[in-house]
Structure formats: structure tokens, C-alpha cells
Amino acid sequence: MELGIYTFGDIVADPHTGRRPSAQERMRQMLDMAVLADEVGLDILGVGEHHGLDYVNSATATQIAAMAAVTKRIRLTSASTLLSTADPVRTFQEFATADLVSDGRVEIIFGRGAFTDNFPLFGYDLKDYDALFAEKLDLFNRLNASDHVTWSGKFRPALDNVPIAPRPAQAKLPTWIGAGSPNSVLRAARLGMPLVMPVLGGSFENYGKLANLYRQAWASSGHAGEARIAIFSHLHVTETAQETEQDFYPHYSAYLRPMFKGPMPPAVYAQMLSPQGTLVGGSVEQVIEKIALIKQVTGASRFVGQIDIGGQKFADIAKGIKLLATKVAPALR
């Protein structure tokens, strides 16, 4: 099983001191996370895309290229790329460039995101939500397959045998689809693209049903090879269960404050940390058991955890990364 981490670059004040990091400090911290994750042997590092003032990750290909320049072996992926409001040609060029910097370690996850602030920002209408994604994904896949492309669609000027450069170091950029609904899961299967499922709330039973739906649709579509699934979830790993139960709660509550419109109810936190809850947190043993359960239910071959949330000190984040790489990963591999 592949293990890794991802970041959204949230800028959240430390709930104990009230200190809010600058964008520069947060960016530096994420580059340090990349170096550390590479050194300790994690498999994958993801960078999410957000466009609000409370996040520093909006130009993910740029950030991935910066991470590629300071790492040697870890694979780097978007998590995810909001293709509906992006230009597929420019997106391909940016990620192909990052792939060249990395010597062939870059991947892309395409998704539509949990927020919609990117639509007015880039001048798109939400009524075209699904049509935009479908058309632009089709164009990107063509760009990825050939160095000259002829194409026409509704939302972008046509291409007539246009050269697409640069080409990535890899023969093609590996691409995934992030999906959490039955229709999106079915789309990924029909296209023959690996699936990323965000496990954030809800029940493991429902995620298992989505994974089964994906595999059934994959098989019925006649695709060769394995139907791969990756799981992305919130993560906090400590030496003891008590450290997560007590110390992480203020940070997690601060991170999710906009969703709860106030402090996160302690009972909700306790449920999410329970064996059937979707927060992958606790002692090394508890985290191993939770990820093993996710793998059993979904058949996932990759787990990636968001580990740097809620204004935590970098020393605590670094400790969690080391525990994930040296204690959790060997048990699951």
C-alpha cells in the first residue's frame, strides 16, 4: 500500500496563541514538509487547490514544481485540480513543466472541489458545472495522449493540429478523478481513470458501496488492468491516543470552524475518532487499524492524509510525518 500526505495550505491561527502565520511562512513550511516526507520515505505528496484568503494553494503546479526541485524520489500530485474553471492547454503545460523539473514524478487529480468560488473568479457560470468538467477533461486527455491536437468544443476556442509543448518527462501524465458521488464514480470508471475518494464524514459502509460501484462499472466497461482506488482523509498520528484526543482537538476545531459556524462539538470529535469514525487519528496502532479498515472496505491501494491543518506547530507536523513513515507505513506495506 502506498502512503503519503497532502496539504491545502490553510492559514489558520494557532488556537492556543492566536498567532496567524504569513503566506510566506506557510509556503516555506510546506516545502519543508516535502523535503521531510521525501527523506523519510513516504510515497506521495499532494497539493490541493483553493482560492480563498485563508489558503495559500491556488497555483498548485507552481508549488509542485518548487517541491520537485527540493526532493528526489517522492511522487507529487495535485489534490485536486479544478479543471472546470481552468484552461486544459495551460494546465497541461504547467504540469508537464513540473514533471520535467521532477524527472517524471508528477501526477494530477481532477476534481470539481467542495467550494465554488473559482467559478465567478474565472468568469464561468455554475449552471455549466458538469458540462464544463466533462468537456475540459476530454480535451486534457487528448492533450496528454498526443503532441498535436485537433479539437473543438463549446467553452473554448477550437484547436487545429496545434503542437502541445512541452511534453512531460513521463510518456503521459498519470491522471486520476476525485469523486464522492455515484455519478462521478461511474464517470471515472467509464473513462478508465483511477479513482480518488475523499473520506471525510459519513460511514465506511457508504464508501465501500461507492468502491464496489466503481469496480463493477470498470469491469462492465471492458477496461484492462486494475481498477485503482486512492483514499484521501484527514490525519493525525501521535505516540499515544491521549495526545490526539486532547491536543489535536483545538486545531481540528479551528480548521472546521467555518463548517460548524463555531467550535466543533466535542461529541462529534469523539465520534470521528472512534473506530467507525472517518478521522484517521490516534496512536500509531489506532491509525494502522483505521487505514487497514479503510483498505478492507474499499480495496484502496493508496492512502494520503491531510496532516498539517489548524495552525499546528511545524514540530508537531514533522513528528506526525515521521511516525507515518517509520511506524505506520511499514505495517501497512
Condensed to tens digits (0 to 9), the pLDDT of residues 285-294 reads 999 999 999 9
Q: For the chain, what percent of residues have pLDDT higher than 90?
A: 96
Work out the average pLDDT over 249-264. 95
pLDDT at 113 over 80: no
Q: What pTM value is reported for the model?
A: 0.96
Work out the average pLDDT over 78-96. 97
The Cα-based distances of 201 to 5, 71, 143, 234 in angstroms read 18, 33, 35, 10
Mean of the per-residue pLDDT values of the chain? 96
Longest pairwise C-alpha distance within the chain = 61
Contacts of 283 (CB under 8 A, 6+ apart): 237, 238, 239, 240, 241, 244
Decide which of 3.40.50.150, 3.40.50.300, 3.20.20.30, 3.30.70.3270 is the CATH code for 2-332: 3.20.20.30
- The model's confidence at residue 296, banded by pLDDT at 50, 70 and 90, is very high
Helix axes 182-191, 204-220, angle to 10 degrees: 30
pLDDT at 224 over 90: no
Report phi then psi at 84, rounded to 5: -55, -35
Q: Are 102 and 38 in contact (CB under 8 A)?
A: no
Work out the average pLDDT over 67-87. 97
Q: What is the pLDDT of residue 276?
A: 92
Mark 275-290 as b/e (b = at least 16 C-beta within 10 Å). eebbbbbbbbebbbeb
pLDDT at 331 over 80: yes
Q: Going along the chain, which residue ranges are E strands?
A: 2-7, 44-47, 75-78, 81-82, 106-111, 148-151, 159-163, 175-178, 195-198, 229-238, 280-283, 302-306
CA-based R_g, the chain, Å: 19
Pull the grid cell for residue 144. Answer: 496528454
CA 208 to chain centre: 19
pLDDT at 114 over 80: no
